[in-house]
Amino acid sequence: DAGVTQSPTHLIKTRGQQVTLRCSPKSGHDTVSWYQQALGQGPQFIFQYYEEEERQRGNFPDRFSGHQFPNYSSELNVNALLLGDSALYLCASSSPLTGRNEQFFGPGTRLTVL
Amino acid sequence: AQKVTQAQTEISVVEKEDVTLDCVYETRDTTYYLFWYKQPPSGELVFLIRRNSFDEQNEISGRYSWNFQKSTSSFNFTITASQVVDSAVYFCALTEEAAGNKLTFGGGTRVLVKP
């Protein structure tokens, strides 16, 4: 049973560019959440998707957007990249069967903005 | 608003010593969940434990134990007889029933276990 997977593992972009990160949830999970973890800090909630809609959003600008597909996988898009967007982006999935508050995390995508 | 504070940024111990990680939380909700996650250098967050606000029983799992005290809004984590493999960053997190399952994390405590 595959856990949460994310791609790519590493990414280097320059300021002003756009990036798309991908996440496949754990089998049987229908809810995907995204977190940003800056170096030396705890993860910060970006948003959550359920039934292909954004259900909750943290304190992030509109440059951060997402999408969820019918197979529950999800994308995180960041436009007009800033140096401060450099971070580890973590995806987490959950299921109504095990309780949505029990989230399983993927290995993350490390984004570097130059 | 929910908040989690981990006052210790880094703890260094020698193998076989015990280490306790402090976590203090703030919430206005009566129903909430507390978590501890381990983050090794690889970056993936590994789930260790979940407690709900109605269950104040302390828990022990092998060398790990947790002390939940609602009176002081604390959820502390102890590693007994630490091992080098315990070296990692540990995060305490909180989610409120009213906030769905959005997790609020503390700043983390880096544990370094020296042989």
What's the full length of chain B, in residues?
115
**Average pLDDT estimate for A23-44:** 95
Tell me which residue of A64, A86, A82, A71 sits closest to A20, measured CA to CA.
Answer: A64
Please indicate whether, in this complex, the C-beta atoms of A105 and B108 are within 8 angstroms of each other.
no
**Number of Cβ pairs closer than 8 Å across A and B?**
60
pLDDT digits (tens, 9 = 90+) for A50-86: 999 999 999 999 999 999 999 999 999 999 999 999 9
8 A C-beta contact, residue B23 and residue B5 = yes
Residue A13 pLDDT level (bands cut at 50, 70, 90): very high
Please indicate whether, in this complex, the C-beta atoms of A108 and B43 are within 8 angstroms of each other.
yes
In whole angstroms, how far apart are CA A2 and each of A76, A93, B47, B109?
A: 21, 12, 16, 29
Edge-to-edge strand ranges of the sheet holding A19-24: A5-7, A19-24, A74-78, A64-68
Q: What is the pLDDT of residue A46?
A: 97
Q: Which of B95, B100, B107 sits opposite A42 (nearest CB)?
A: B107
CA distance B3 to chain A (A): 12
Tell me which residue of A90, A6, A48 sits closest to B37, measured CA to CA.
Answer: A90
pLDDT digits (tens, 9 = 90+) for A98-112: 665 678 999 999 999
Beta-bridge partners for A76:
A21, A66
Tokens of B89: 């960053």
Cβ-count burial of B28 within 10 angstroms (0-12 exposed, 13-18 middle, 19+ buried)? exposed
CA distance B66 to chain A (A): 18
pLDDT per 10-residue tile (average), chain B, 115 residues: 94 97 95 94 89 86 92 95 96 87 93 96
* Chain A neighbors of B101, CB-CB under 8 A: 31, 33, 48, 94, 100-101, 103
Tell me which residues of chain B, numbers 15 to 34, contact chain A at a CB-CB cutoff of 8 Å: 33
Q: What is the pLDDT of residue B6?
A: 98
